[in-house]
Structure 1
Amino acid sequence: MPQDVVRYGLLSTAQIGLNAHLPASYDSKNSEITSVSSRTAARAEEVAKERNIPRWFGSYEEQLADPDTDAIINSLPNGMHAEWTIKAAEAGKHILCEKPLAVSAEECQRMIDAANANNVVLVEAFTHRWNPHMRMARKLVAEGAIGDTQTIDSALCFNIAEPDGNVRFSQELAGGALWDAGCYAVYATRFVMSAEPVQVRGMSHDSGNWGIDTTFSGSMKFANGAIGNITTNMEQPFRCFITIDGSKGRIEIPGMFDDSGPIIIKRGDGRNGENTEIISTPAPYRFVVQFDEFSECVLTGKKPEFPAEDGLRNTAVVEALYRAADSGSPVDLNL
């Protein structure tokens, strides 16, 4: 491996890899995407030529066997994350795995065990945690800037106009609003609280007998009494926010995915605007920051700021929310 760059392979031709990771790699100081794989050579070659990716593979197995690939970006459907992350680890490849890390805590643990056994880095790709507004919110909550945190509201919703053939609507591939999008809101809530929920409740709806949730609403209770509410939906206009309310004020992030979006702090009783502070947070593209940190861990042996165990805990919360929705009863957690 060159000492100053990590050579990545895109495992699949998923849009997140081509439209987010690939452009970010151009601006990363220590990362480059050198290959792409698909289930057919024709598709892999087509994408490689279209996107100027140097090499392509007609199967995932071929890419994992490539000695010139140091790390894999696993952007396969949710239900395939565990299988191919474990195979990548066994092939000696480092893995930046798209969210959710897996679809059960048990799967996550097997992935972690495989990474440890083969001395490779494994990280879940939640990029919004790199945005300065999220980090500032976390710091303000920890410092008690808005008093005792009491409620958190977060959502990620969007509209998939053509669900037929979309993996998000596939029960077999572990689609569903909560797994695909709501996991961001779950993560954001855990992140700003710097804590794990002790109990969850959930409700879901399947709008078209897909066998998955198209709408999910859940709540998470924390040990200090704070309650986090999350909402996710795949059939409504886009929104992606978090609001944190405390005894002395409120923190609002209108766009969790906006790299340089503002953070709004409202102090007092909230009935007027004179105690409102709007802070700009200029920032680089979060996918670039993620690349730089992950590659540094690969090249230097530095420990990831957010290890795979963090992904396991987020997955465990999502699992518990689904159990709560299925049973109609609260589910206790001890993470």
Structure 2
Amino acid sequence: MSVRWGLLAAGVIAHAFARGLAQTNSGRAVAVAARAEDSARAFADAYGIERAYGHYQALLDDPEVDAVYISTPHNFHSEWAIKAAQAGKHILCEKPVTVNCAEAVPVIEAARAAGVLFMEAFMYRTHPQLDVLRDMVGAGQIGDIRFIEARHGFNAGPGYAHRTTDAALAGGGILDVGCYAMSFARLAAGLAIGEGFANPTVVKGVGHVSHGIDEYAAASLQFESGIAAQIATAVKAGLEQTALVYGSKGSIKVHSPWGGNGREPGDTKLTVVEGRKKTERIVSLDRGIYAREADVFAQAIEAGQTECAAMTPDDTLGNMRALDAWREEIGLRYEFEV
């Protein structure tokens, strides 16, 4: 099956996904929608996409669209994901799925009621380096997991007009990229108990809030298994992009956890420390990470599934609850949240 994709929004990440689709045979973009038809047409012309719409609903009304990739700002995800489900479209929705868990629940309910495939687009979850991590932990290579670290942050520069720093668009580190660090910590804690994820029982956070957003923040997590984790994020400070899992016998460092080789085809590295022995494991990807994500999603559609193991709806809801707790810890609530 070749999935006929509709791209709902035409921003930076939509361009990355469109380039990914060009690297795979599992699907192709047949339509794109933007808030302005001229923008949609320019995007369509750049990628050889057949149809361009100046309104998102027109895309959902297109009978030749099988699946939609939603990449609007966070606070529009809920509305359009629900409408996509009601239109019978399979949904790959950019992270975070919504601004908070209260908004995420009706999205998942709508997808389940419609019987469509839904996945929150944590593309890093589809990278084969995580399969290697699972195998090494499962084989007991580093013993029992004790501690997890994960960081994802960048400096968006001065001002607060960019999408990632605009409070009106739910900007800030926790929702924009802190969600990656939280999801990795939950994934790694799940490996320790043979599950796809685990939810923290304790979330303690600190951070700096200014202009209605978290400029940088950190959190300490505790899981029922006893595992502890520390995670950090930022939109006003460049952080080292790494993830580490520490066990009773050693540790594993994922050097480029959020997309592999700069999100492009190529190699990425895991460093394993066992006592005094240090080894490196190279993992290769023959497509960019967005192509890999599209392939995983297409395979799930072909198999008749309504969820992907890479990021299930229950995993999404658990992540949103943990992000809510983190924001509550630092006193961050957006003015538009009810």
Q: Give the TM-score, by structure 1 length.
A: 0.89
1:199-233 per-residue CA deviation (whole Å, 9 max, x = no partner) reads 11101113xx3201010101111122221101111
Distance (whole Å) between structure 1 residues aligned to residue 252 and residue 206 of structure 2? 26
- Partners of 1:142 and 1:193 within 8 A in 2: no
Tell whether the 8 Å contact from 2:245 to 2:251 is kept in structure 1 after alignment.
Answer: yes
Q: Deviations over 1:118-174 (max 9, x none)?
A: 121110111111222223223333443222322111101112125442111122221
Q: Does 1:198 align with 2:201?
A: yes
Name the CA shift for 1:132/1:30 in 2 (closer, same or farther; >3 Å): closer
Q: 2:295 aligns with which of 286, 292, 300?
A: 292
- The one-letter amino acid paired with 1:217 is A
Amino acid across the alignment from 1:41: E
Q: Which residue of 2 aligns with 1:146?
A: 142
How far apart are residue 49 of structure 1 and its match?
Answer: 1.7
Query: Normalised by the size of structure 2, how large is the TM-score?
Result: 0.89
1:238 positional shift:
5.1
Once the two structures are TM-superposed, the CA of residue 51 in structure 1 deviates from its matched residue by 3.0
Matches within 5 A, 1:58-77: 58-77=54-73
Higher mean alpha-carbon deviation, 259-268 vs 156-165, is at 156-165
In 2, the alpha carbon distance for the partners of 1:239 and 1:13 equals 29
CA RMSD of aligned residues (A): 1.7
Deviates more, 1:67-76 or 1:238-247: 238-247
Q: How does 1:126-275 map to 2 (within 5 A)?
A: 126-194=122-190, 195-206=198-209, 209-237=210-238, 239-256=240-257, 257-259=259-261, 260-268=267-275, 275=277
Contact 2:151-2:239 at 8 Å conserved across structures: no
2:51 counterpart (41, 48, 55): 55
- For structure 1, list consecutive stretches of 5 or more residues without a partner in the other structure: 269-273, 328-335
Contact 1:153–1:242 under 8 Å retained in 2: yes
Structure-2 change in CA distance of 1:162 and 1:42 (3 Å):
farther
Match of 2:315 among 299, 310, 313: 310
Gaps of 5+ in 2: 191-197, 262-266, 333-338
CA distance in 1, matches of 2:101, 2:235: 24
Contact 1:263–1:279 (8 Å) recurs in 2:
yes
| 1:28 Cα deviation from its structure 2 partner | 2.1
What CA distance in whole angstroms lies between the structure 1 residues aligned with 2:138 and 2:220?
Answer: 21
Alpha-carbon distance, 1:288 to partner: 1.7
Residue in structure 1 matched with residue 264 of structure 2 by the alignment: none
- Number of residue equivalences: 316
Q: In structure 2, how many angstroms separate the alpha carbons of the residues matched to 1:225 and 1:92? A: 42
Amino acid of the structure 1 residue aligned with 2:48:
N
| Structure 2 counterpart of 1:7, one-letter code | R
**Kept in 1: contact 2:166–2:213 (CA 8 A):** yes
Q: Give the Cα–Cα distance (whole angstroms) in 2 for the partners of residues 180 and 97 of structure 1.
A: 14
